Amino acid sequence: MTSTAQPSLPAFKAAILAEALPYIRKFHGKTIVVKYGGNAMTDEKLKQCFARDVVLLKLVGLNVIVVHGGGPQIENLLGRVGKKGEFIQGMRVTDAETMEIVEMVLGGQVNKDVVNLINQAGGKAVGLTGKDGGFIRAKKLMLPNKDNPDAPIDVGQVGDITQIDPSLISFLDQGQFIPVIAPIGVGEDGESYNINADVVAGKLAEILKAEKLVLLTNTPGVLDKEGNLLTGLTPKQIDDLVEDGTLSGGMLPKIGSALDAARNGVKSVHIIDGRVEHALLLEILTDHGVGTMIKNR
Ligand SMILES: Nc1ncnc2c1ncn2[C@@H]1O[C@H](COP(=O)(O)OP(=O)(O)O)[C@@H](O)[C@H]1O
Ligand SMILES: CC(=O)N[C@@H](CCC(=O)OP(=O)(O)O)C(=O)O
């Protein structure tokens, strides 16, 4: 006779904890880059769950690096000065006044908020922008123009990463600190560049030879035209989804960065739902992967 009784809650919890052990062993000492999207940081309880997950991962021996966004938070401040954001191919058109606001919001309010959350949860977070130690160098980005390849599109002070110096991050890691990075780069003449946070996270994961890149956003993952979750995507499938318009807006730089990272040595790359409590722990330390995995072929 087979029993249909459900395991008791303590037994269920113990089983989940035990499930984490092989993952802790596998990832101990490895680098994990986590992109915390502005859209995933709107709810207080979720923010605290995120911070606790980051601290737990650090305590069990993973080198966790956080790169945060802040698109909605920038939009909010722009609105207060009577401006509205404009995006082309998922990149914010950034004039001088917008750059000032971007720097204020990303490098100030949002960065300090994430640092404080992690520290309140028991971690030792240190906030940085790419201007600190000049560790993210950038030049002006020109976007490709499908209609006229000879006339690339100018989106203002948006940065194209030219170099990332990993030594500052490694130094913080070794000191048991958790780097929290705002996606701002510095140009040759000290000028600031606004860089999409997914792009910074992807490049950083490549340079640091990260084991994993996890992009936390506000959808269950990549969705098809009918709104169904696509749990795994190959480069060819991604091309098709871009071509037929299934992927748009902020998903374009996200998927591009994810694919670049997967092709350039980051062992696993995931786009997951930051609105699910403890999504990060579920993805990294259990068998229950959530969201979309980006494959390199
Ligand atoms: N096929 C798709 N699947 C899922 N999301 C998509 C898709 N195409 C476009 N998106 C949009 O991309 C958004 C996520 O990107 P973005 O707004 O930049 O978020 P984040 O702040 O997390 O980086 C989703 O909220 C959704 O509106
Ligand atoms: C060039 C560019 O688009 N920069 C982004 C930087 C913030 C970001 O990427 O935030 P999310 O991850 O929350 O979207 C912006 O200005 O919105």
Is 88 among the domain residues? yes
Query: Which atom of ligand 1 has the smallest separation from the CA of 251?
Result: 12
How far are the Cα atoms of 212, 238, 268, 275 from residue 205, in angstroms, in the given order?
8, 20, 10, 23
Q: How many CA atoms lie within 13 A of 145 on its CB side?
A: 10
For residue 252, pLDDT over 90 is answered with yes
pLDDT level of residue 6 (50, 70, 90 thresholds): confident
Q: Which residue has a Cα nearest atom 15 of ligand 2? A: 71
25 is in an annotated binding site: no
Ligand nearest the Cα atom of residue 214: 1
For residue 262, pLDDT over 80 is answered with yes
Residue 56 Cβ < 6 Å to ligand 1: no
Provide the percentage of residues in the chain whose pLDDT is more than 90: 90
d(CA 183, ligand 2 centre) in Å: 8
Q: Does 289 or 168 have the greater pLDDT score?
A: 168
Question: What per-residue confidence (pLDDT) applies to 271?
Answer: 98
Residue 251 Cβ < 6 Å to ligand 1: yes
Domain count, the chain: 1
Is 1 among the domain residues? no
ipTM for the assembly: 0.98
Is 17 among the domain residues? no
Average pLDDT over residues 58-69: 97
Is 79 among the domain residues? yes
Query: Which atom of ligand 2 has the smallest separation from the CA of 73?
Result: 13
Question: What per-residue confidence (pLDDT) applies to 9?
Answer: 82
**Which helix (H) or strand (E) covers residue 63, if one does?**
strand 63-68
Q: For residue range 190-207, list pLDDT tens digits in order.
A: 999 999 999 999 999 999
| Residue to mutate (ligand 2; options 194, 255, 275; most atoms within 8 A of CB) | 194
Question: What per-residue confidence (pLDDT) applies to 11?
Answer: 84
Q: Which tokens go with 290?
A: 């959530």
- Domain with 109, as residue range(s), is 28-294
Is 3 among the domain residues? no
For residue 54, pLDDT over 60 is answered with yes
Question: What lines the ligand 2 site, CB under 6 Å?
Answer: 37-39, 69-71, 74, 91-92, 102, 158, 183, 194-197, 250
Q: Which residue has a Cα nearest atom 15 of ligand 1? A: 250
Average pLDDT over residues 33-40: 95
Q: What does the alpha-carbon distance between residue 82 and residue 77 come to, in Å, rounded to a whole number? A: 9
For residue 2, pLDDT over 80 is answered with no
Provide the percentage of residues in the chain whose pLDDT is more than 70: 99
pLDDT level of residue 1 (50, 70, 90 thresholds): very low
Strand 212-217, strand 268-273: pairing: parallel
Residue 248 Cβ < 6 Å to ligand 1: yes
Q: What does the alpha-carbon distance between residue 186 and residue 132 come to, in Å, rounded to a whole number? A: 9
Question: What per-residue confidence (pLDDT) applies to 251?
Answer: 95
Answer for the pair 238, 224: CB distance below 8 angstroms, yes or no: no
**Which helix (H) or strand (E) covers residue 88, if one does?**
strand 87-88
Is 42 among the domain residues? yes
Q: Which residue has a Cα nearest atom 14 of ligand 2? A: 71
Q: For residue range 164-192, list pLDDT tens digits in order.
A: 999 999 999 998 999 999 999 999 999 99
Phi, psi for 126 (deg, rounded to 5) = -125, 125
For the four alpha carbons of 141, 194, 173 and 52, in that order, the dihedral sign comes to negative
Q: Which residues pair with 179 in a beta bridge?
A: 126
Is 209 among the domain residues? yes
- Specify the amino acid at residue 103: E
> What would the 3-class secondary structure string for 197-251 be?
HHHHHHHHHHHCCCCEEEEEECCCCEECCCCCEECEECHHHHHHHHHCCCCCCCH
How far are the Cα atoms of 57, 61, 121 from residue 23, in angstroms, in the given order?
11, 11, 22
Alpha helices (H) along the chain: 9-27, 44-59, 71-80, 96-102, 111-120, 167-174, 197-207, 235-243, 251-263, 279-285
| Residue to mutate (ligand 2; options 67, 92, 93, 105; most atoms within 8 A of CB) | 92
Q: Which residue has a Cα nearest atom 5 of ligand 2? A: 196
For residue 125, pLDDT over 80 is answered with yes
Q: Which residue has a Cα nearest atom 6 of ligand 1? A: 251
Mean pLDDT value across the chain: 95
Angle, CA of 217, 218 and 224, to the nearest 5°: 95
What CATH number should be reported for the domain holding residue 124?
3.40.1160.10
pTM: 0.95
Question: What per-residue confidence (pLDDT) applies to 4?
Answer: 64
Ligand nearest the Cα atom of residue 200: 2
